[in-house]
Structures are given as structure tokens and as C-alpha cells.
Amino acid sequence: MRRLTLIICLLISYFIPTFGQSGHTTDLRFEKVVYNFGKISIDDGPQKGSFKYKNISDKPIVINNVISSCGCSVAEYVKSPIKPGEEGEIVVTYLNDQGPYPFDKTFTVYISSSQKPIILRIAGIVYEKGKTSAELFPNKFGPLGMRKEIQNGGQIEQGLQRSESESVINLSDKKVTVSFKNVSPGLSIQIKPSTLDPGESAIISYTINTKLAKHWGRTRYYASFVCNGVEQKKKFITETTIVTPYTSLTQEEIDNGPRVQAEKSSIEFDSAKVGEKFNAKFNLKNIGKKKLIIYKVETNGANIKITCPDEINVGEKVTLNAVITPKEINNYEVFTITLVTNSPERPLVNLFVSGEIVK
């Protein structure tokens, strides 16, 4: 066991220095982009880390959004403008609720002065403690327990497939035989072993095949648990983001593909009232060499209605109009609009509208 732990520690220490920062901008300079928690006990509870930064530009910068790669980690950050020369920090919390495993999570940071995000990483090793099965697997699906309510299927290129696995445990005091029904097209799923004694765990293996059901952007797949012949009310859910193929393309194909350019990727407003509609417009242009297709437009809620062409010809300029109806009072709200495109360079384009929401 000591040798295994040492090997894992050495692997983490070896790989961490190679983690890069995607689209790093010099406007908001971070002291470091990787935070290593090292070895922590699952008894220790949530763990906090800090990424300190400084605005080295000559203009205010706003952190529009910080997106975690999973629900096991969260970020806190200042949402007001960061003045030139001003320093601050993004405080991240690893919830430490995933069990005794090595972890490696990312935070994607979007700022107002750059269209490309900054990637921050946290990593470490969590070792065992005397937690009950119900505490380790708090999300119940009938007699079964899982760590998460919605599983993360990651990002998949259209036309490809991705396989993942998750642990499940029998929390009841009786033997349970598990199967699945009402499985979404494009999802295949199985469990081994299929019969679990009380307290016994199993592995759910599933594969998402985008060839069998064509979707774009954020997509959920479902399957009903059947335990001892009874279909459970709560379903197995996995969520993935499906994007245009790009890893198999040559550099020439990427250079000759469509490319979207936003005149500005963020819009700031002074204030807006709850329940009152307001407009935000983004000017887009296809500066690539092929027609740009917008497969899907996604938003982060708040009743946002989008008007935008599905296609943009080479050299053509268009306007995306967002009609936003704020729902709640917030000192600093960020509305996110994501375009799912056929651009191999930027399959996902994020636009932001931010400001204060008042009564």
C-alpha cells in the first residue's frame, strides 16, 4: 500500500508541471495555474485553494465566469471590475466528497479582455476514512446509491463515442438484481455484477455513441433502473457536450475551415430590473474559408431568447440578438450564451452579458 501511494504521488508530481494554461492572456496574470493539495484525508472535509492574480493591463477587467469541470469543485471570485494594477484571487473549493481517489479537476476562467479562456487546475490524493456507505453514495436510486445524481459524460466529437464508468452500491438489507430499460438512443449501459448483496458495490459501464442519435451541445441521456423487477422513479442520467469533430483534422483543414469572430464577447450594463426585458446584441463575422453553421444556441437560463441565423457565409456579418428577462435580484449577474458551431478552431463560442439586477 505504501509503495502504491508513493507511486501515485510521484505520478502526480511528474505530471503537474506539464499542465498548461489554454489561451493564457497577459492582461490577468496568475502566480500559478496549478494548485496541488497533496495528500488529504477524506475526514478533512472540503479543501480550499487560491489562485492569485494581478491586472497588468491599462484597463479594468471583469471575470465573466468560472466554470468547474465537475460538481465536486466550486469557485468564488470577485464579479466587479478589477482595476489596472489591482490584485485579487480566485478561491476554489474541492468538496472532497468523491471517495478515496486521486483527483485532477479544471476551472475554465472567462475574462472580458480575451475571447480565449484561462485554464486553472487542482489536483491531489484523497485517502480512506471510516465513512458509511450512505455517506459515500448519498444519491439514492431506489435501493441503490451513487456518488452523483447526474454523471459527467465529458465532451464528445460528433460521430465518435465515449465510454465511462461509475460505482454503485446496494444500500438496502436485501439482495438486489439490477437491469435497465427505457434507454436513450445512443446510450448503451450495463452493470457488473448485476446481482448485489447488501452493502456490495458494482460498476455501471456506459457508452455514448453519437452516430446512433445526432445531437449537439449539452445533451442528456437516460436509463431507468429496474431493481428486482421494479422500475425505479429516479433515472440514471449522464450529461455530455457534443461538438464538431476537430482532433482528427489536419492543420490545413483547420486553417481552411469556418471561423467565427465576435466584435466583442462580453457586454456590461449598469442595471436591469427583475421581470423587465432588455436587449443585448453581438456582432458576429465568419472570417474563415467555409460556411459557418450554428448547430445550437444554449443559455444559462434566466429566460433568454436568442435570434440568430443558423448559417453565416464566408465574410458575412450578422447580429445575434438576446432578449433577457432577469428573474432574481443580484449584485452582479452573468448571463452566458454558448454557440455550438462547426468551426474546428472554436466549436464552442461563449458570449457574456453582465451587470446588476435590481428590484
The pTM is what? 0.66
| Three-state SS sequence of 184-224 | CCCEEEEEECCEECCCCEEEEEEEEECCCCCCCEEEEEEEE
Give me the phi and psi of 211, to 5 degrees please.
-70, -30
Fold of 2-127: Immunoglobulin-like (2.60.40)
Q: For the structural domain made of 133-243, what CATH number should be given?
A: 2.60.40.10
Q: List the chain domain ranges.
A: 2-127, 133-243, 251-358
- Rounded CA separation 358/63 (Å): 20
pLDDT tens profile 239-273 = 999 999 888 888 899 899 999 999 999 999 999 99
Q: How confident is the model at residue 13 (pLDDT cuts 50, 70, 90)?
A: very low
- Average pLDDT value for the chain: 88
Residue appearing with cell numbers 480550499: 48
What grid cell was written down for 124? 491531489
What grid cell was written down for 196? 448485489
- Rounded CA separation 8/127 (Å): 12
Fold of 251-358: Immunoglobulin-like (2.60.40)
First to last CA, the chain: 58
Closest C-alpha to 112, from 320, 355, 303, 299? 355
- pLDDT more than 90, % of the chain: 66
Do domains 2-127 and 133-243 share one topology? The answer is: yes
Closest C-alpha to 144, from 243, 59, 236, 279? 236
- Rounded CA separation 123/103 (Å): 5
The answer, yes or no, to whether residue 163 has pLDDT greater than 60, is yes
